[in-house]
Amino acid sequence: MAAKATMADIARQLGISRAAVSYALNGQPGVAADTRERVLELAVELGWHPSANARALMGSDIQVIGLALSRPTATFAVDSFFFEFLAGVESVLVERGWSLLLRVIGDAPDVEIETYRRWWGEGRIDGVILVDERHHDARLAAVEEIGLPAVLCGGPRKGIDLPCVWTDQAGDAALLVDHLADLGHRRIAHVSGPREFVHERGRQRGVRTAAARRGMSVVSVEGNYAPEDARAAVRRFLSEAEPPTAFIFSNDHMSVAGLKMLRELGRSVPDEFSVVGWDDSPLTQAVDPELTALYRNNQAYGRQAAETLLDLVSGKQPGLVPVARSQLRERASSGPAR
């Protein structure tokens, strides 16, 4: 992790005293206007920020973690995961007297990195939680280069020092596949989310591995978590000579849309087709038949992420922090293969 710039670094480069630098950075009198301007410009260039200890010495007890969500705003608005996750994060921060700086920036990973760089340079945060790990994720190298304490909700990753709060995607996939295999299904369709997300790649590998172990065939199609993706996938697979007898969807919105599409086409669930999903939100029980789905305690997940980051900021090295394995909640949308 890159060394953090200090007031001594600024003073040395400008050839002035540390006292003058302190006056300029804290808006105090006793330094000329042109000197103040040079100090502020170099501070931005070096990525200087007031440390948490320095703020405490100056009488400021505000401690803040940052979270920027690089997801389309329409997706965020209907995804219960983020609200449950944030509730867990906030519960820890309230207990510890910390605050959360949240920004929903749309699907713009580059803007997310610049947001972190600006927040850190301005001294507004003490660390960040990174969610939605991407393939070849540029954020990982960026936070290390900036010197920003960060926790990754993903991984585990080789060659990086960031603590990882990680989920066993292969184990979760096996729960779904084994459930369908025990019901006699041998041909399944997996409608995934975008493969740019590492967790979706892990889920896809997990489904294929578990299916091969149980002697099942699986066909995967990539979606974007949108209901129309599920509807298109159902129409496509039902047009085949030997359609799958079960569908796995990567979120509850696709699961519900896929279920409705099957019924609109005059097909019976679960008598002809079984439908299971990765997310067990309240939406899965608001349809008929109710959906079989994987349950994960997303609030507990948010608590783990926040606690891990606060441990890191306090000087500990949390390493790899496993998330509790998901639980399969069997409902009426899955039944014996026809």
79 and 183 together in one domain: no
105 assigned to some structural domain: yes
> Total domain count for the chain?
3
68 and 118 together in one domain: yes
236 and 175 together in one domain: yes
228 and 211 together in one domain: yes
95 and 212 together in one domain: no
pLDDT on residue 167? 95
Closest CA to 250 of 186, 182, 184, 197: 197
Distance between CA 293 and CA 264 in Å, rounded? 22
3-state SS class at 120: helix
Structure-block tokens of residue 190: 């997996």
157 assigned to some structural domain: yes
Distance between CA 263 and CA 17 in Å, rounded? 76
Tens of pLDDT, residue by residue over 236-247, are: 999 999 999 999
CATH code of the domain covering residue 238: 3.40.50.2300
159 and 275 together in one domain: no
175 and 289 together in one domain: yes
pLDDT on residue 87? 96
Which residues, listed in sequence order, are joined to residue 66 by a DSSP beta bridge? 101, 128
Are 207 and 220 within 8 A, CB to CB?
yes
78 assigned to some structural domain: yes
pLDDT in tens, the chain (338 residues): 455 677 778 888 999 887 788 778 766 677 788 888 888 888 878 877 665 545 444 444 568 999 999 877 776 667 788 999 999 999 999 999 999 999 988 888 889 999 998 888 778 899 999 999 999 999 999 998 888 999 999 988 887 789 999 999 999 999 999 999 999 999 999 999 999 999 999 999 999 999 999 999 999 999 989 999 999 999 999 999 999 999 999 999 999 999 999 999 999 999 999 999 998 999 999 999 999 999 999 999 999 999 999 999 988 889 899 999 999 999 999 999 98
131 and 155 together in one domain: yes
pLDDT on residue 61? 52
Structure-block tokens of residue 237: 């697979």
149 assigned to some structural domain: yes
185 and 195 together in one domain: yes
156 assigned to some structural domain: yes
Give residue for tokens 């005293």: 17
Distance between CA 197 and CA 130 in Å, rounded? 13
pLDDT on residue 59? 44
Give residue for tokens 């699986």: 218
Per the structure, the complete domain to which residue 32 belongs is given by 7-49
**Is the peptide bond between 318 and the residue preceding it cis, with omega within 30 degrees of 0?**
no
27 and 68 together in one domain: no
Closest CA to 63 of 72, 75, 54: 54
189 and 229 together in one domain: yes
Distance between CA 56 and CA 6 in Å, rounded? 16
222 and 282 together in one domain: yes
Angle at 148 between CA 162 and CA 93, to 5 degrees: 85
55 assigned to some structural domain: no
pLDDT on residue 233? 97
The HSE-up count of residue 200 (CA atoms within 13 Å, CB side) is 21
pLDDT on residue 58? 45
pLDDT on residue 50? 60
1 assigned to some structural domain: no
Question: What's the order of all strands across the beta sheet hosting 164-166?
Answer: 99-104, 64-69, 127-130, 150-152, 164-166, 320-322
